[in-house]
Structure 1
């Protein structure tokens, strides 16, 4: 039962030979969610064996080119592959105007529908929800450009049945769903068997927060508190803190401070400036504050196991 992030691109505006612009795929129970779509995203999906045809939801943080320049190509490729399933895109409303214009200019006729969902960017907003997952956006600080972070959270599962106790108390199949939902069992003689005897606590839910691009922003800490995985941009090192502030980006040290204050499980730093060929300095700087930090390297996967304890 996967909950796994694959890094498709870890660089900022200028790609390098080793690092593509920002894009990630989150696999939740074999459902695939694309987060940002920088140039070359579909190449990276093929390279790292992401099933493109199973991408039905795309979340775009903001409209800078290194986060959207791969989108029109991906939409075109979907069409060439004969896609017929709706594609949902969650982004600032201006993106719909851009994509519609590009499709019209290219005289593209799609056999599937693109459904745009606007992100307002001024407050926390529920974007997507089903029986097992919710996705919220929350505002970041990236100058005049509206920018959103994303919080992916599994929903609580039903309680786990204990087969040995079900057999011992002769619990019929028709009663088991209600017991999963928390009900006690009453046998034919009126004896009440408590739910705690028949079930175990369900596995803990898992969560992932995506924060790029943004200046150092402590106010997001309550929103992303205690997530299992936090991706936070670390464009610069602390020696460049003035430049980071001026460009509304963060340093590795600042990303680590956010992770520490939010008490997250693991910090993943990325969105590196192309000026840095070697990233050991970023990792060292972050680890000094938050030891459980890793680099967002292209192709790297980060998983959260299902806790069955």
Structure 2
């Protein structure tokens, strides 16, 4: 503790402010909120503070320097001598770190977006401004998740739907380049395109001869087939027959409650060729340009590989 108190070991509000390097107004503010302990009152009714007030004031200043809001400072001080004091401070610091991370992410995206606009031609600027202006800061994947919830068959089991969304929805880069900002903005534009209502991917969940409809059977199998094909796709090996293709065809056969035969494979190859949709193709193309695709191929890339393997086998 720097400086000395008066002979009675107490300071006036002005002396405490001087010791702490703050204004009298600041001391009075914290005092009025009950954050500073008063040792006594003078005969004239003026506040007098002991050494513990200086320690408390310095702690408050440290907490406020970390930009902790006053309600959190109140809670930390209230629990300072209790068993939960450490937890209160840890929770407050963790919350600030999360908030700061969000702010930094927004700033990085804003900087990359500004560079994107700065470096483009005047003819490109209006379109790019429209695209990036539609992306919230920091960017979220909400629109992409809604896109797939709208496109995928209804009544999929929650666990399966979660697996599909995790694989289909790429996370925005934490520190994007201008081109990645543009790619993500274009991806979001695809996901919010009004034409999405015309996508009929649900035709994959065709009904069997007995009228049953088992989309979960199909998508469980497709998830497994993609997992088996991922190493080949990542290594850029040519499409070929094997366990991944057998699993892929088996998923479609299981959906229709039929056997995997050469005739079925020829029929499936023709049917799958009719299901292509430009928005879906565009989505996977853009998703493949984001950093996450370098770690794990997109479902679209693996599906293309599996379809190509099927086409090569039946032709």
Higher-helix-fraction structure = 2
Higher normalized contact order (CA 8 Å, seq sep 6+, divided by chain length): 1
TM-score (ref. length: structure 2): 0.21
Larger radius of gyration: 2
